[in-house]
Amino acid sequence: MELLLLLISASYLLFGVLGNHAASIPSELYWRNKLPNTPIPAIVHDLLHPGKSTIPNQSNLNSPGASLFFLEKDLHPGAEMNLHFVVSTASGTTFLPQKLAKVTPFSSNKLPQILDQFAINPKSEEAEVINETIMDCEEPAIENEEKYCAISLESLVDYGTSKFGKNVNVLTTEIVSDKEQRPQLRKQQYVVSSGVKQIVSDNLVAVRYFVPTPLVGADRTKIKATVVCHKDTSKWDPDHVAFQVLKVKPGTVPICHFLTEDNIVWAVKNKEN
């Protein structure tokens, strides 16, 4: 797996309504012990400290983020893009403690047991999010993809270090604004500023990424965005929203997308990054 980036959505960690603030300190220490030279991404830090969260709550947890897809040729200083950055993580939640995560069922046929264990109404939005997360995790991986759903921050760190070791970059997108008066983001035009940098690595044969990609919104919101470009999309679902938005067919051109704040990407460090 050295040849691939590890792209993980934070929503695939079983947290959300199941969170417990007691997990914060041990989990944070675990990260720092295993990855002493890799800063904790903002999204992970906010989930470890929900009382200090800078991530706004979103009522639409299933936003497709279709506007975030684009073609690699369109990423350059001065480029203008209409983008809608959304966060699907509910505010005030955190990770399950590792001990609890290990004994919590995580399969679709155990959904009633999960909901009962955490006193969640089966007809609630929280139940729907948990069900969708589990169903996504149970979907088989596509060809040349290895799939893993972490059930705790510790299991995420263990998986990442088992694939890449400890000399890694763990990156996400950061919205640079006043954290005390952070606006709810809307779809708007962003301009790509100077400073776009492609991370070069001989190991990254399936994808490549650019960081930071500085964006400035029409309302002056500044974003340090991480971009991932997938070189081979031939095995993707032909109905994938990216093909509909970009009007291209699977396997014809590399497809890029901005990461949202609740996605993180792992990659082995090299001399240039």
Domain boundaries, the chain: 6-268
**HEC secondary structure over 214-249:** EEEECCCCEEEEEEEEECCCCCCCCCCHHHHHHCCC
pLDDT value, residue 54: 34
Mean pLDDT of 208-222: 81
Separation between Cα atoms, residue 69 and residue 263, nearest integer Å: 15
- Residue 212 DSSP label: E
* Whether the Cβ atoms of residue 127 and residue 61 lie closer than 8 Å to each other: no
- Which residue shows structure tokens 């704040």? 261
Q: Which residue has the higher pLDDT, 256 or 263?
A: 256
Separation between Cα atoms, residue 263 and residue 247, nearest integer Å: 25
- Residue 191 DSSP label: E
Neighbours of 101 (CB within 10 A): 22
Residue 210 has, within 13 A of its CA and on its CB side, a CA count of 23
55 falls in which pLDDT band (50, 70, 90)? very low
17 falls in which pLDDT band (50, 70, 90)? very low
Note the pLDDT tens digit of each residue in 223-236.
989 888 888 888 88
Separation between Cα atoms, residue 246 and residue 230, nearest integer Å: 14
∠ at Cα 225 (224, 231), nearest 5°? 155
Separation between Cα atoms, residue 118 and residue 124, nearest integer Å: 13
* pLDDT, the chain, mean: 76
pLDDT exceeds cutoff 50 at 10 = no
The alpha-carbon radius of gyration of the chain (Å, integer) is 18
Paired with 69 in beta bridges are: 257
pLDDT exceeds cutoff 70 at 52 = no
Extended strands (E) in 10-135? 69-71, 80-83
Q: Which residue has the higher pLDDT, 154 or 10?
A: 154
Mean pLDDT of 239-263: 88
